[in-house]
């Protein structure tokens, strides 16, 4: 932790050198730290959407959870509106930082009615003056996410996946947060329903000015919804840039291959485009390669890549890349 | 070369008996599979795409059964075959790979044992011959050091590698047909690209026909020669990849294509299909899609649309499409046999 780090007041959320290690038992006595996030830094402005992409196991969910302190970070600084987020301050900040989870089936308590699910954050933070006020707020939230008032007394299992995700979003919005972590919030939904929920996220942002950290593996969805995108590989950020810039001019070899691997719903581009197919698999995070973690699969890897991890450097207009050769 | 139809599905109906009543998962679908081609079946959850595939293999859950219709393999109706003959069909003539490579392999046997099991079951190869074939198959699907890997257990393989093993197993007996049920859904994009590339390569080398079942329009655009779009257990539209993606005629296909973010629509608002997914227990009388369709007409509520030729010659089952044809002067409503 760097107690002298001065957060930039322009940002809503600022993360500096976040490290999140999990101890993993190896052998009889050994414990190796699994470096799920290793020196991640980024910032989000008020009302902005930052997309966080990467393959499974790259640590994107860990970053999201550490951000709202569902995990206690091993090291690093997190600031929310210039205030340091730590054990003391988080109680007061939770109201402003909420989360929407991936699985709309397991993230809602099956024994609670919709009204109680959405009302729970209001109860916790004592955000109503009377029973009527509580009920009004709940109905208001339900309307905002496109649920009927008559659904209030039903249980979660009576709803389809898309509607459940709406309940989860209404719950996150209940405390009028300024920042929501959306962890694969649309991944479990069918395409036609996914589009409904994506539109809703965008509408809510316009209406309420809420900022999102949008964690997903679907690059087309992330490109659509995000203002800026950060690409993660094995616990490290390798590239961040404006959404359109990243898609038009990816610089890091990993981003390039990731974008070229996206199957576009267009037979012509699908058949003509030249794919950069990566060899092999992502290395185990327990046995990280030295230096740049991507070097084992990289076409451009040199000796320097094995020795030292490249830092994110600005290549113009806030396009940050961590690569020695590009 | 004449195009040989290797498998025809004719008016297939499959349902499941549940506590809440009969769930009609597949309601009369028909298609022909041409030897050496890739047929893509695309649809959302509950559209009946997987059940259609499982019906071909006759590997439905206990409460499910084929109610009517024929499945003709080289002219023979396999729905009439006894189980013993079907066992021969599965694996040797037609293989399937599933979505989840984690659970499709048995964790307590080595990869080699599981591969050899399939080979011994369907061919005359025994002992060293079977082992050699297993090694050869692993090499074919791009597993490095197959002699060493064959002695390892599934937990020592990554997700992508396991899916390669599944493909090796499916192709070990050189089937005519490979059914791939969401083969890359559980994999990351870069691994997905590897597997799709591999499947195309193998198809070119071995010449089997592939039925590719998926919800991912991107994957289907890349892979399929012909596409069937399903909704509510029925075929909405069928045609070449170009027909479906550039000239969609069915309102559902159009809606589906509008709902996915693509490079062209970045920065614009998505146009989702309204409403909620279909409830198979309570199917509408007319077109299955009509409760969610913005362009629904009176006839859509009452009558199921027949499959008709669109203006450009592919097939769609939509009253709106029929109206468009009539407006274009094609009054003839030709129904597909």
pLDDT in tens, B153-166: 998 888 888 999 99
User: pLDDT at position A243, please?
Assistant: 93
Report CB contact under 8 Å: B215, A271. no
Q: For residues A46 and A97, what is the distance between their CA atoms, to the nearest angstrom?
A: 12
Indicate the Cα dihedral angle B313, B317, B321, B323, nearest 10°: 110
> What's the mean pLDDT when you consider all of chain B?
89
Give start and end residues of each alpha helix (H) in chain B: 49-57, 83-92, 111-122, 127-140, 146-149, 159-171, 189-206, 217-223, 241-246, 251-259, 298-302, 319-327
CB pair distance less than 8 Å for A224 and B270: yes
Q: Take residue A314 and report the two structure tokens written for it.
A: 């600005």
Instruction: Express the helix, strand and coil content of chain B in percent, nearest 5 each.
Output: 40, 25, 40
Q: How many Cα atoms sit within 13 Å of A156 on the Cβ side?
A: 21
- The CA angle A244-A101-A136, to the nearest 5 degrees, is 105
pLDDT band (50, 70, 90) for residue A26: confident
Average pLDDT (A189-217) is 91
Please, what's the b/e burial string for B37-53 (b: 16 or more CB within 10 A of its CB; e: otherwise)?
bbbbbbbbebbbbbbbb
**B288 touches B305 (CB < 8 A):** no
Residue B1 predicted with pLDDT over 80: no
Q: Tell me what the mean pLDDT of segment A60-84 comes to.
A: 92
Higher pLDDT, B269 or A232: A232
Nearest residue to A48 via CA among A239, A214, A196, A250: A214
Q: What is the spatial distance between Cα B240 and Cα B39, in angstroms, rounded to a whole number?
A: 9
Q: Is B34 exposed, middle or buried (0-12, 13-18, 19+ CB in 10 A)?
A: middle
Distance in angstroms (rounded) separating the CA atoms of residues B261 and A74:
37
For the stretch B100-145, pLDDT in tens is 877 889 999 999 999 999 899 888 888 899 999 999 999 999 888 8
A6 reaches B (C-beta below 8 A): no
Q: Is A235 left (phi over 0), alpha (psi -120 to 50) or beta?
A: left
Look up tokens 């993230």; give the residue: A107
CB pairs under 8 A between A and B: 130
Q: How far is B144 from chain A (nearest CA, A)?
A: 10
Q: What kind and span of H or E run contains A99?
A: strand A97-100
How many angstroms from the chain centroid is the CA of residue B186?
16
Cross-strand bridge partners of residue B214: B42
Three-state SS for A273?
coil
Strand, helix or coil for residue B297: coil
How far apart CA A220 and CA A246 sit, in angstroms, is 12
| CATH architecture of the domain formed by A13-96+177-276 | 3-Layer(aba) Sandwich (3.40)
Q: Nearest to residue B129, comparing CAs of B138, B143, B139, B119? A: B119
Chain centre distance of CA B145: 32
- Average pLDDT rounded to a whole number, residues A264-288: 79
Q: Compute the average pLDDT of residues A185-200.
A: 88
Give the ranges where chain A is alpha helix by DSSP (H).
60-67, 90-93, 114-124, 131-144, 161-173, 191-208, 219-225, 243-248, 253-261, 267-272, 303-307
Instruction: Count CB neighbours of A256 within 10 A.
Output: 17
Report the residue from A160, A262, A282 with minimal CB separation from B218: A262
> Using an 8 Å Cβ cutoff, are B298 and B287 in contact?
no
Interchain CB contact of A299 with B (< 8 Å) = no
What tokens appear for B7 in the block? 């498998």
Q: Could you read off the pLDDT of B8-65 as tens digits, one per residue?
A: 999 999 999 988 888 999 999 999 999 999 999 999 888 999 999 999 999 998 999 9
Overall average pLDDT of the B52-81 stretch: 92
Question: Cβ B273–A261 below 8 Å, yes or no?
Answer: no
Given a cut of 90, whether residue A245 has pLDDT beyond it is: yes
A195 with B158: Cβ contact below 8 A? no
Tell me the CA distances in angstroms from A193 to A187, A265, B267, B296, one per residue in order. 11, 17, 19, 19
Q: What average pLDDT is seen over chain A?
A: 90
pLDDT bracket for residue B336 (50, 70, 90): very low
Q: Which of A263, A298, A299 best tests the B interface by mutation, with the highest count of B CBs <10 A? A: A263
**Can you tell me the distance from the alpha carbon of A215 to that of A44, in angstroms, rounded to the nearest whole number?**
13
B332, pLDDT greater than 60? no
The encoded tokens of residue A306 equal 């094995």
Min Cα distance B162 → chain A (Å) is 12
Angle among Cα A254, A257, A261 to the nearest 5 degrees reads 140
Q: How confident is residue B282, by pLDDT bands cut at 50, 70 and 90? A: confident
Instruction: With cut-offs at 50, 70 and 90, classify the pLDDT of residue B188.
Output: confident
Q: Are B253 and B296 in contact (CB under 8 A)?
A: no
Cβ–Cβ below 8 Å for B216 and A263: yes
Nearest-CA distance from A193 to chain B in Å? 7
Q: Could you give the CA distance from residue B231 to residue A200 in angstroms, rounded to a whole number?
A: 25
Task: Label residue A185 left, alpha or beta by phi (over 0 means left) and psi (-120 to 50 means alpha).
Answer: alpha
Tell me which residue in B194, B246, B259 faces A192 most closely, judged by beta carbons: B259
Residue B121, classified by CB atoms within 10 Å of its CB into exposed (0-12), middle (13-18) or buried (19+), is middle
- Alpha-carbon gap, residue A306 to A293, rounded angstroms: 9
Q: Where are the domains of chain A?
A: 13-96+177-276, 108-174
Interface test with B, best of A206, A233, A266 (most B CBs within 10 A): A266
pLDDT reported for residue B262: 81
- Distance, C-alpha A136 to centroid of its chain: 31
Q: Does the beta-carbon distance from B193 to A263 stay under 8 Å?
A: yes
In this structure, the number of other CB atoms found within 10 A of the CB of residue B75 comes to: 8
Mean pLDDT for the stretch of residues B215-222: 92
Answer for the pair A185, A197: CB distance below 8 angstroms, yes or no: yes
- Alpha carbons within 13 angstroms on the beta-carbon side of residue B249 total 30
Q: What is the pLDDT of residue B242?
A: 92
Residues in chain B: 337
- d(CA A110, nearest CA chain B) in Å: 20
Is residue A222 predicted with pLDDT exceeding 90?
yes
- The interface pTM score, or ipTM, of the predicted complex is 0.83
d(CA A109, CA A114): 9
Instruction: Tell me the pLDDT tens digit for each residue of A108-147.
Output: 999 999 999 999 999 999 999 999 999 999 999 998 888 8
Task: Tell me the mean pLDDT in the region B56-75.
Answer: 92
Band of pLDDT at residue A66, cut at 50, 70 and 90: very high
CB contact under 8 A, B259 and A163: no
Residue in this structure with the two tokens 């479990």, named with its chain if needed: A188
- Residue pair A240/A222 in contact by the 8 Å Cβ criterion: no
The predicted structure's pLDDT at residue B334: 52
Distance, CA of A235 to CA of A18 (rounded, Å): 10
Q: Which residues contact A106 (CB under 8 A, 6 or more apart)?
A: none
């Amino acid at each position: 932790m760097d107690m002298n780090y001065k957060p930039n007041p322009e940002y809503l959320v600022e993360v500096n050198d976040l490290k999140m290690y999990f101890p993993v038992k190896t052998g009889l006595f050994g414990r190796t730290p699994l470096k799920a996030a290793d020196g991640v830094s980024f910032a989000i402005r008020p009302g902005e959407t930052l997309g966080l992409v990467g393959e499974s196991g790259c640590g994107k969910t860990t970053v999201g959870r550490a951000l709202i302190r569902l995990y206690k970070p091993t090291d690093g600084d997190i600031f929310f509106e210039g205030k340091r987020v730590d054990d003391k301050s988080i109680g007061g900040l939770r109201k402003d930082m909420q989360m929407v989870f991936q699985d709309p089936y397991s993230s809602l308590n099956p024994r609670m009615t919709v009204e109680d699910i959405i009302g729970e954050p209001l109860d916790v933070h004592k955000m109503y003056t009377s029973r009527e006020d509580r009920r009004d707020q709940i109905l208001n939230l339900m309307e905002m996410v496109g649920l009927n008032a008559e659904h209030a007394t039903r249980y979660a299992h009576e709803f389809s996946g898309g509607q459940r995700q709406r309940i989860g979003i209404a719950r996150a919005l209940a405390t009028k947060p300024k920042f929501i972590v959306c962890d694969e919030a649309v991944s479990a939904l069918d395409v036609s329903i996914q589009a409904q929920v994506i539109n809703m996220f965008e509408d809510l942002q316009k209406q309420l000015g809420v900022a999102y950290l949008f964690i997903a593996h679907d690059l087309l969805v992330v490109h659509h919804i995000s203002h800026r995108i950060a690409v993660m590989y094995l616990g490290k950020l390798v590239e961040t840039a404006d959404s359109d810039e990243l898609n038009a001019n990816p610089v890091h070899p990993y981003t390039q291959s990731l974008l070229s691997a996206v199957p576009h719903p267009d037979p012509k581009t699908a058949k003509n485009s030249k794919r950069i197919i990566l060899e092999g698999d992502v290395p185990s995070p327990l046995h990280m390669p030295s230096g740049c973690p991507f070097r084992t699969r990289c076409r451009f890897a040199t000796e320097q890549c094995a020795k030292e991890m490249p830092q994110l450097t600005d290549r113009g207009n806030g396009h940050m890349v961590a690569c020695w050769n590009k | 070369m004449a195009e040989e139809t290797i498998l025809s599905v004719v008016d297939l109906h499959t349902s499941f008996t549940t506590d809440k009543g009969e769930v009609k998962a597949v309601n009369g679908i028909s298609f022909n599979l041409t030897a050496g081609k890739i047929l893509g079946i695309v649809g959302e959850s509950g559209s009946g795409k997987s059940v259609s595939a499982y019906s071909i293999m006759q590997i439905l859950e206990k409460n499910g059964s084929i109610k009517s219709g024929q499945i003709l393999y080289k002219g023979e109706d396999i729905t009439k075959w006894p189980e013993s003959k079907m066992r021969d069909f599965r694996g040797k003539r037609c293989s399937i790979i599933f979505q989840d490579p984690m659970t499709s392999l048995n964790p307590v046997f080595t990869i080699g044992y599981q591969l050899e099991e399939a080979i011994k079951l369907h061919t005359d190869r025994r002992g060293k011959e079977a082992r050699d074939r297993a090694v050869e198959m692993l090499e074919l699907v791009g597993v490095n050091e197959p002699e060493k890997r064959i002695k390892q257990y599934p937990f020592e393989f990554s997700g992508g590698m396991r899916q390669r093993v599944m493909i090796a197993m499916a192709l070990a007996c050189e089937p005519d047909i490979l059914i791939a049920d969401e083969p890359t859904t559980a994999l990351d994009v870069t691994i997905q690209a590897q597997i799709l590339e591999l499947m195309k390569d193998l198809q070119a080398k071995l010449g089997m026909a592939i039925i590719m079942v998926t919800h991912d329009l991107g994957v289907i655009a890349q892979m399929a020669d012909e596409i069937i779009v399903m909704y509510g257990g029925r075929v909405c539209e069928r045609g070449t990849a170009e027909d479906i993606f550039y000239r969609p005629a069915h309102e559902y296909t159009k809606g589906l294509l509008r709902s996915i973010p693509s490079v062209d629509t970045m920065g614009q608002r998505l146009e989702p299909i309204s409403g909620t997914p279909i409830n198979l227990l309570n199917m509408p009388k007319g077109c299955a899609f009509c409760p969610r369709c913005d362009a629904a007409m009176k006839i859509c509520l009452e009558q199921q649309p027949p499959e008709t030729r669109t203006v450009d010659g592919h097939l769609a089952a939509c009253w709106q499409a029929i109206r468009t044809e009539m407006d274009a002067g094609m009054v003839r409503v030709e129904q597909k046999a």
